[in-house]
Amino acid sequence: MQGEGYYLGLDLSTQQLKCLAIDGDMQIKHTEVVDFDRDLPHYNTHKGVYSHGDVVECPVGMWLEAIDLVFEKYKGAGFDLSQVKAISGSCQQHGSVYWKTGAGDLLQHLNDANGNLVDQLYPDGFSRKTAPNWQDHSTGKQCTQIEKKAGGPEKLAEITGSRAHFRFTGPQIMKIAENEEDNYKNTETISLVSSFLTSILCAKLVPIEEADACGMNIYDIKAKGYDDSLLDVISGKFGKEDLLKKLSGSVTKCNSPQLMGNIANYFVSKYGFDSECAIYPFTGDNLATICSLPLEKNDILVSLGTSTTILMVTDQYHPSPNYHLFTHPAIANCYMAMICYCNGSLAREKVRDSLNENQSTSWTNFDEAVLDESLDTSGELAVYFPLGEIVPSVDAITKRVLYDPKNCEIVKYVDKFDNNRHDAKIIVESQALSARVRVAPLLSGTVDESNDEKSETMVHFDYDSMKFSEYSSKRPNRVYFVGGASKNDAIVKKFSEVLGAKNGNFRLETPNSCALGGCFKALWSDLWKKKKIDEKVTFDSFLNRYFPTDELEEIKVDDITKKWEAYKDKIIPLSKLEEELK
Ligand code: XUL
């Protein structure tokens, strides 16, 4: 590969700041971590935040100290930072940083000979000492007003890619404009955490990055600009022009690599960086995660954790109040869809424990049942939501049904199946089937001709109605599994069978995915910008060519088409069962 030297990816997450260095062959060469609670105990954060009731926030000074500390750790380890060619990275999403009037000057005059970031910038550079964190729940009133102004949750999702959420930046800014007039008035610029970190590294205030801007409930994704009427409701009496100015007028676009500047002299003098070291825009952590893998359109990343999260690259702008769409941070004309299910591992563990009569937490019985092909679950379906669910949006409930496979009608509700081995098989089937029907509208490509008599039947899920043939024949390109439960062979195999990827299922361990996504973006952006690769080499084609495939383990599934025949007959009953829950 053409890349020489090192490329850094920083990840400023809730509990730590991580910095990864790769070389031009995409191999990880060094990692340093600053753990906020442990390494910066004088901020008295708990898991990186201050929580008081519904309010959750992070001290900005702590982040400034962490930036110095992580580079000090690099220097202390003897790592030659002068060989770093470019830096990018990711940050927790939705958080907002409030720079005080005059902050731009302060940044520009950072004293590079001595001193540190926190002493020179904090608190004088900020109109608020803290940044709202994504776990904040205090903006219910503002969310209602924003949705009302947009014309309802569906309309807001159509404009901004998401309905209103407590943690999203727009509602947070609106609350501050309402409750902290002086702080708001004294604010020169509002950054997301990602543009805050980019600004520090370049020592100048830079606009918000476009993909991360989609987590604000203000940015019109299709029109590629902040929405006038949303600016209006959020800014209240201070006015939309003033807010637009605070948001730097526009965003940093993602359709091609944008050089934000070279690293500031402060970092050159203090840590020995090369003054030519390029800074490329930081983005949100979920957005950086999709940059850590060779994902192209119609590829899916399934994170099997306590909750199940699906990240998908799509060229279909098909928003829904049930999930999120963001502009893709590195592929032009593509989006990232993020579908979050509340009920993932915990729900499966409950079934496992009941199968083990609460005597053990071993997965053996559960796994055997999941893969037991002689265990006939045709005509049986269930949803297991011990927690309220987001997709579909319903309260906590577990419901088992028997349906007639001929006409797909629900015959009756039952309290249990023949035995609880059926629950093990059905929970994994129904979780995976729910994911498959939710990604279907986001998949591009043709719908297979089918002679199935149900082909033309309209099927309804959430806010979508599509022909049965579309739900049954659209298939993802590739599926990647990550997260705790991806280590479980039975679960991953069953998910792979049901999701039906055309070009393979893979699993991998991703302890550093956000930071790694930043490294890859820095490498590709720099080679592209310096014309060391042809400008036709898109981010996804670059990763597909050079990604170290030894990291990936392929999950083999046999007879996928035959197996789908059994699962696809559950689509209509699942739609009917979900309708009954509402
Ligand atoms: C995404 C979200 C979280 C944070 C975590 O919408 O709120 O994933 O980004 O850092």
Tens of pLDDT, residues 373-412: 999 999 999 999 999 999 999 999 999 999 999 999 999 9
Ligand 1 centre to CA of 188 (Å) is: 26
At 446 the pLDDT is: 74
Ligand 1 centre to CA of 177 (Å) is: 23
Ligand 1 centre to CA of 578 (Å) is: 27
Residue of 467, 431, 460 whose CA lies nearest to 446:
467
Pocket probe for ligand 1: among 93, 96, 311, the residue whose CB has the most ligand atoms within 8 Å is 93
Joined tokens for residue 390: 């987001």
> Cis ω on the peptide bond leading into residue 392 (within 30° of 0)?
yes
* DSSP letters for 328-395: -SSSTT-EEEEEEES-SHHHHHHHHHHHTTTS---SHHHHHHHH-TTS--TTEEEEEESS-BTTTTB-
At 122 the pLDDT is: 97
At 127 the pLDDT is: 98
* DSSP letters for 190-253: EEEHHHHHHHHHHTS--PPBHHHHTTSS-EETTTTEE-HHHHHHHHGGG-HHHHHHHTTSS-B-
- Say which residue the tokens 């203000």 belong to: 218
Ligand 1 centre to CA of 286 (Å) is: 7
Q: How far apart are CA 274 and CA 264, in angstroms?
A: 10
Joined tokens for residue 249: 């007028």
pLDDT lower than 70: segments of the chain: 1-3, 449
Joined tokens for residue 375: 């265990």
Q: How far apart are CA 71 and CA 270, in angstroms?
A: 9
* Residue ID of nearest Cα to ligand 1 atom 1: 93
The contacts of residue 395 (CB under 8 Å, 6+ apart) are 388
The atom of ligand 1 lying closest to the CA of 165 is 6
The atom of ligand 1 lying closest to the CA of 285 is 9
Q: Give, in order, the Cα–Cα distances in Å from 467 to each of 161, 450, 459.
A: 24, 12, 6
The atom of ligand 1 lying closest to the CA of 13 is 10
Q: Give, in order, the Cα–Cα distances in Å from 476 to each of 68, 191, 454, 498.
A: 43, 35, 22, 11
The atom of ligand 1 lying closest to the CA of 324 is 6
Pocket probe for ligand 1: among 96, 134, 163, the residue whose CB has the most ligand atoms within 8 Å is 134
CB contact at 8 A, 356 and 240 = no
The atom of ligand 1 lying closest to the CA of 91 is 10
Ligand 1 centre to CA of 301 (Å) is: 16
Ligand 1 centre to CA of 263 (Å) is: 27
Q: How far apart are CA 31 and CA 182, in angstroms?
A: 41
Q: How far apart are CA 56 and CA 136, in angstroms?
A: 5
Ligand 1 centre to CA of 508 (Å) is: 21
CB contact at 8 A, 297 and 318 = no
At 447 the pLDDT is: 77
Residue of 254, 289, 582, 297 whose CA lies nearest to 439:
297
Ligand 1 centre to CA of 93 (Å) is: 5
Which residues have CB under 6 Å of ligand 1?
13-14, 92-94, 134, 167, 215, 284-286
Q: Give, in order, the Cα–Cα distances in Å from 486 to each of 302, 481, 503, 509.
A: 9, 6, 19, 9
CB contact at 8 A, 373 and 347 = no
The atom of ligand 1 lying closest to the CA of 215 is 6
Ligand 1 centre to CA of 447 (Å) is: 34
Ligand 1 centre to CA of 513 (Å) is: 14
* Residue ID of nearest Cα to ligand 1 atom 5: 92
* Residue ID of nearest Cα to ligand 1 atom 10: 92
- Say which residue the tokens 């409750």 belong to: 179
Residue of 22, 1, 3, 79 whose CA lies nearest to 525:
3
At 452 the pLDDT is: 80
At 445 the pLDDT is: 83
* Residue ID of nearest Cα to ligand 1 atom 9: 93
Ligand 1 centre to CA of 165 (Å) is: 12
* Residue ID of nearest Cα to ligand 1 atom 3: 93
* Residue ID of nearest Cα to ligand 1 atom 7: 134
Q: How far apart are CA 326 and CA 335, in angstroms?
A: 5
The helix (run of H) or strand (run of E) holding residue 66 is: helix 60-76
State the burial class of residue 244 (Cβ atoms within 10 Å of its Cβ: 0-12, 13-18, 19+): middle
pTM, full prediction:
0.96
Task: Say which DSSP state 46 is in.
Answer: B
Task: Say which DSSP state 448 is in.
Answer: P
Strand pairing report for 300-304 and 308-314: antiparallel
CB contact at 8 A, 407 and 454 = no
Joined tokens for residue 201: 């590294």
